[in-house]
Structure 1
Amino acid sequence: MSDAIKHECGLAYIRLRRPFSYYQQQYGTVFYGLNKLYLLMEKQHNRGQDGAGLATVKLNTEPGVPFMHRIRSSQPQPIAEIFSKVREEIAEIEKYQPEITKYPGLLKGHVRFLGELLLGHLRYATQGRNNVELCHPFVRHHIVPARNLALAGNFNLVNVQELFKFAEKFPEGAHRNSDLAAMLEVIAHFLNKEDETRQNGLDVKNILKQAFSMFDGGFHVSGLIGTGDSFVIRDAHGIRPSYYYINDDVIVAASERAAIRTAFNVGENEVHELMPGHALIVNPEGEYEITRILEPRERRACSFERIYFSRGNDEKIYKERLQLGYNLAEKVLGDIDNDLKNTIFSFIPNTAEVAFYGMIKGLEDYLNKIKIERILSWGKDYDPEKLTEMVNRRVRIDKIAIKDVKMRTFISEDSGRNEMVQHVYDITYGTVKPGIDTLVVIDDSIVRGTTLRESIIKMLDRLGPKRIIVVSSAPQIRYPDCYGIDMSKMGDFVAFAAAIELLKENDKEHILQEAYGLCKELERTNTLHAQNVVRNIYKPFTTEQISAKIAQIITPKDINAQVDVVYQSIESLHQACPSNLGDWYFTGNYPTPGGNRVVNKAFMNFMEGSNERGY
């Protein structure tokens, strides 16, 4: 993706089902669980690089001995930072008390993070930037073991203030707008209530039913309780991804299927998807159940997971990204008038590469069809040279754009800084026939268009192409997200900017004012969630009109090439990713009422000149 956006988070949960001595004998290390958690987190590092955290719970500790521990980091390499500190603690014991390492039971008492329950988290900051205090897991300590809770997840909630009000908690500082802090307080409320009335152990299912019915958002959450109970739960629409794997030794859950497969070397069919509205609940004895907590609703799994966010080594995601590219081939052929001879195809590194392969496959299928038709039309009127020329025709591909290491600049003036930003990408010289070739480059998606305008288009134009066509494997991003992706400001979307420009050019600015007035009325009547008013701004224009205006917006001054933009259609997106139909950032069709409230609030902020988030 050329425009980097903050998104998602990564979750890793492990419940060891055997004594530590078993892992030492079976796998050669008492640190089997910690090693696997490290792998799960590293294999999901794409989901969060602003911070990381680890929490553990030890079972059957002596009264007064700490049993829940946590460590967090917001350093540049947070996973490495966390596990290096864990390793330092182990190394100190190995150096000064080596005899302890022979006895797993003793070692458990000396290594803080050697617990049977392990919870890891990777964070992208949507609130509070890289404040370590906002890194998951959050922990609530209490003198009663059953009221201790560690919580982490991949989610955003849009009703945070209502939740704090319910729990009668009004935190200050960094936690004031934290959705995890609000979630923690609500769950703790019902956990304490359950502990007051319980007879024989906690009814975790009942706690989850009461608490999670109150949360408006998409979520994949895991919690560790001081009793040794634990859970993983997914929202009713299945917005956020959730997978699990269970054998006699471990119970594992994570945000990505491929991470579990790699860390535990298991087949695809051994890793299961946690269904929407369901929870994986594990009791202190290591027995588990998968049970419905929330009434499942229409499945609206996030399509951006398939387009960009999840790692592409999952075989299903890989095939879907190939299909996304393949589906664009016909559109692109039409845009270049089928002139493959004078067109070069490339991609914007690095995550658009798989969609690029899919697009090339579609183009090659077309070219092969033409070859067959031409050869058949010759009958016997051909010679080896003519036939060789036809058979050897290829789709022209080159690696045109090269993404360099992250550029840093000491220049503070905008003009100097913008000049430096141009060089985030570089180009391969000598690949284009100047003034003749069309250059087609595919990107995952176009959010702001800033990097295209300030860097990529300028760099590509240096090669002298007649045209530059930017192809997006995602449809136009028109609306904010509030379920885990940090896209919450209307002014950030180049599609919205294009619609505004078109309204001005066509003397339809009154539509903006009418939409703003309707939003204010909905706000006055406390019904801002009732409808998505921003849809009215796009209605007067076709997708093609908005695409053409986006092309104008991302075209820098003094560019010689004609610049065009081609987008994936909503229908093609759904055909490529049939199990992930969540498309609200493209269509405005939000799965929960909170989404409508967020988009309307974001629009009001735009109209009022406020740079605040929509939630």
Structure 2
Amino acid sequence: MPLDEHRFPRHPFDPRSDDADGDKLREECGLFGCIGVGDAATFVALGLHALQHRGQEAGGIVTYDPEAGFNSARKLGYVRDNFTERETIEQLPGRAAIGHVRYSTSGAKGQTAIRDVQPLYAEFAMGGCAVAHNGNLTNAAALRRALTERGSIFQSSSDTECIVHLIARGFQPNIPERMKEALRRVEGAFSVIALTRTKLIGVRDPMGVRPLVLGRLGDGWALASETCAFDICGAEYVREIEPGEMVIITEEGGVESSRPFEPAPSRFCIFEHVYFSRPDSVIGGRSVYESRRRIGVELAREAPVEADLVCPVPDSGTPAAIGFSQESGIPYAMGIIRNQYMGRTFIEPSEQIRNMGVRLKLNPNRALIRGKRVVLVDDSVVRGTTSIKIKDMMLDAGAKEVHFRIASPPTSWPCFYGVDTPDREKLLAATMSEEEMRAHLGVDSLRFVTLDGLYRAVGESERDAACPQYCDACFSGEYPIPPSDQIASGRIPAQRKAGA
């Protein structure tokens, strides 16, 4: 069942809102869970609303109440449209709940069916359990084949269901121990939250590619993908869940921590700093906004240009544009204005209106940019289709020159850890040099921040080539976790695995 985007227009924090052609990397999913608070579903709905930028296709909440048992609601579309009415929340009683907002990174790409909406719920011999997952299992296809050959019956196309079946087939006496056993068999990037009758469980993969944070919510506890979800519901940030850590949280006993995996070097996704996380979140004690502003500073140092204005491509390019302006001394200006209400303006757009593409969402500030040399700062270039349209729009509005500065290195390799990336041959940087891309886009100059510059912007002195501090596979092609399914299918050559 495809998502009707005219019924469910994209969220204002959704970076894809800037892009009519899907010419952006699409983020993963968002998780929120809490235990030990009254009306837990309300807090989860608030947390998911703050995380809506991580997934706009669908959302779900599962709660547990000793009298009512487990209850769930799974809906297509936005949290604000599905989980704000009182009658919905009243059907989700309990002092413990978990929730998930989804963008389909596995299964059927670009569409969501109700059967794929998380959290997934299952009844095991020792009781019920709901599971939600952010990331991607790189051996999910192999696991699914092995499980179905042994009699497992899958109900969804989500790789998360592999975790559920592995738990069901475990031999340990309780669900947390079975989860440990199951997650030791999976490969890839994952942050998982789970809910049993008495426990809220959170786990990160051994390299910590995907985020998960712990907060205090009144007398209870909360887990979330980002700290911005704590702000909206009044929770206090406590700390990050460490790479390879499992926390088991109960109302009575608090937080119990264990390390179920072999130690591995931390490889957090650097694109969380560049693009995915909300700018008001904090990652590793560092403001996402400040990291993005610093990227702009590095860009201005590495790729100076003579110009009259620095303009962001809204909204994801804004912090970097501010940093570029501050470092270069070129005035910052809003040369492009975003129409916040486009999604509800055209209920049934005609083909002619569809073909207007980016102009439905972005409009040049003609009086400001006419006759000016303009530096446009954007977060990334994927296929380049949107960049061409924005350049044409600026020239049509009278800009004298258009220079692009990109707040990430060239995206040359697909991601297999929870981000939907086009096939490599569709990535502009995989087939063209920087100068060829400049000519293809038709701009006066094009420069990307270097990988070393990006590392400096996020607080590192330099990138450790032998063992990079972050996962930067989409830029370097060095995959810290072997993407087994992709190697087996031939999507990438075997030598690109594990940092080769």
5 Å matches for 1:549-588?
A: 549-555=436-442, 562-578=443-459, 581-588=470-477
* Counterpart pick for 1:74 among 73, 76, 80: 76
Structure 1 residue 438, shift from structure 2 partner? 2.2
Shift of 1:6: 2.5
CA distance in 2, matches of 1:442, 1:278: 37
- Could you tell me which of 204, 215, 224 is aligned with 1:245? 215
Q: Residues 139 and 148 of structure 1 are in contact (CA less than 8 Å); yes or no, is this contact kept in structure 2?
A: yes
Look up the match of 1:122.
101
- Is contact 2:62–2:119 with CA below 8 Å preserved after alignment? yes
Structure 2 counterpart of 1:46, which letter?
H
> Is residue 548 from structure 1 mapped to residue 435 from structure 2 by the alignment?
yes
Deviations 1:16-56 (A, max 9, x none): 17xxxxxxxxxxxx53x233222211111111110000001
Distance 1:433 1:161 in 2: 53
Q: TM-score, normalised by structure 1?
A: 0.69
RMSD between aligned residues: 2.6
Name the counterpart of 2:496: none
Q: In 1, distance between residues paired with 2:328 and 2:209?
A: 33
Larger Rg: 1
The match for 2:430 among 496, 501, 505 is: 496
Alignment of 1:160-175 (within 5 A): 160-167=140-147, 168-169=150-151, 171=153, 175=156
Q: 1-side partners of 2:266 and 2:199: how far apart?
A: 28
Contact 1:446 1:472 in 2 (8 A): yes
* Contact 2:45/2:79 (8 A) holds in 1: no
Whole-Å separation in 2 of the counterparts to 1:258 and 1:82: 19
Does structure 2 retain, via aligned residues, the 8 Å contact 1:352–1:444? yes
Give the drift of 1:133: 1.3
For the structure 1 residues 551 and 431, does the alpha-carbon distance in structure 2 shift closer, same or farther, using more than 3 Å as the test?
A: same
**Can you give the 5+ residue segments of structure 1 that lack an aligned partner in the other structure?**
18-29, 91-110, 365-394, 499-545, 556-561, 605-615
Q: Quote the residue 2:6 is aligned against.
A: none
Could you say which structure has the higher helix fraction?
A: 1
Match of 1:155 in 2: 135
Residue matched to 1:353: 318
| Alignment CA distance shift 1:591-1:183 (3 Å) | same
Structure 1 position 343 matched with structure 2 position 304: no
Classify 1:186/1:83 alpha carbon distance in 2 versus 1 (closer, same or farther; 3 Å). Answer: farther
**Aligned equivalents of 2:141 and 2:486: distance in 1?**
14
Q: Is the 8 A contact 1:325 1:357 kept in 2?
A: yes
* Cα distance in 2 between the residues matched to 1:598 and 1:457: 37
Q: Which amino acid aligns with 1:38?
A: A
Percent same amino acid at aligned positions? 24
Q: How far 1:597 moved relative to its partner?
A: 3.5
Counterpart residue number, 2:180: 209
Structure 1 residues 7, 343: CA separation in 2 closer, same or farther (over 3 Å shift)?
same
Distance, in Å, in 2 between the alignment partners of 1:312 and 1:458 is 29
The structure-2 alpha-carbon separation of the partners of 1:123 and 1:302, relative to structure 1 and needing over 3 Å to count, comes to same
- Per the TM alignment, residue 496 of structure 1 is displaced from its structure 2 partner at its CA by 1.8
1:264 to 226, 231, 234: 234
Structure with more strand by fraction: 2
Q: Aligned to 1:593, what secondary structure does the other structure show?
A: coil
User: 1:324 deviation in Å?
Assistant: 0.7
Give the counterpart letter for 1:14 in structure 2. C
Give distance in 1, aligned partners of 2:357 and 2:420. Answer: 26
1:296 pairs with 252, 263, 269, which one?
263
* Cα deviations by residue, 1:277-322 (Å, 9 ceiling, x for unpaired): 0011125744430111112311110111111111101251111111
- TM-score, normalised relative to structure 2: 0.83
Unaligned runs of 5+ in 2: 1-14, 461-468, 494-500
C-alpha distance after superposition, 1:40-91 (max 9, x if no partner): 11111111110000001223x4xxxx5111110013x34431342xx2267x
Contact 1:187/1:207 (<8 A) preserved: yes
Distance 1:113 1:429, change over 3 A: same
Equivalent residues of 2:58, 2:101 under 8 A apart: yes
Q: Say whether the 8 Å CA contact 1:160–1:178 is kept in structure 2.
A: no
Displacement, 1:356? 1.1
Distance 2:336 2:175 in 1: 56
Indicate conservation of the 8 Å contact 1:149/1:188, yes or no. Answer: no
What's 2:4 paired with?
A: none
